[in-house]
Amino acid sequence: MFRILHLDASARPGRSGQQAHGSHTRRLSARFVERWRTLRPGDTVTYRDIGAAPPSPVTGDWIRAAFTPPARREPWMQQALAESDSLVDELVASDLIVAGVPMYNFGMPAQFKAYIDNVVRVGRTFGFDRKRPGEPYWPMLAGQGKRLVILSARGDFGYAPGQRLVHMNHVENGVATPLQYIGIDCAASVAVEYDEFGDERLAQSLRQAEAEVDRWVDVLAGDAGAATACG
């Protein structure tokens, strides 16, 4: 049984094409999961709406608690880390992370950054030991075959590799880099562009993105593809 963690980070409720001013990333992530369920109805999906209910930002108490060895944590430290523990548990239990992450001011939404800060955590998802010179850090989720699919949307166009605004795109790398750091190093991405133009170029971009979503579902949902495919 395959386990999917479905994350939405858009501040927009609803899906484009169904609700006025709905989210393109919610539309793509829902399409991905619905198609997957059609192909593999026995798999499980855990859903978390980060856009509507964002994790708490990291605080000084959180940092102190996270860097205190578990055996020495006081009750208030356990409470400070409770939400993070739940988020990490979901991530650790998943085989595939499907993340709808729109571009806000060239990067990910603050809601999703809070999620990243809660799951990239010493002792849970990455290790650290000062006694390992030259290699004090290691990814604790490496070798587990976890995969990541980033579904994004942008107001302008030309943010893909080799295009005019690639240097201003901090979404895909901003999401993939910290997750790669903890061992999720197999990632694919699909994006909608031209949102602010709202013309036929947006419609065409949506059609292309949906076709790409379908392709990735078909690749990853296959028995061989689910074990080896990577973007």
Residue count (the chain): 231
- Binding residue positions for FMN: 10, 103-106
Neighbours of 114 (CB within 10 A): 20
Choose among 84, 78, 164, 171: nearest CA to 125. Answer: 84
Burial 87-111 (b: 16+ CB within 10 A, else e): bbebbbebbbbbbbbbbbeebbbeb
Strand ranges of the sheet holding 96-100, from the earlier edge strand across to the other edge? 44-49, 3-8, 96-100, 147-153, 186-192
- Binding positions: 10, 103-106
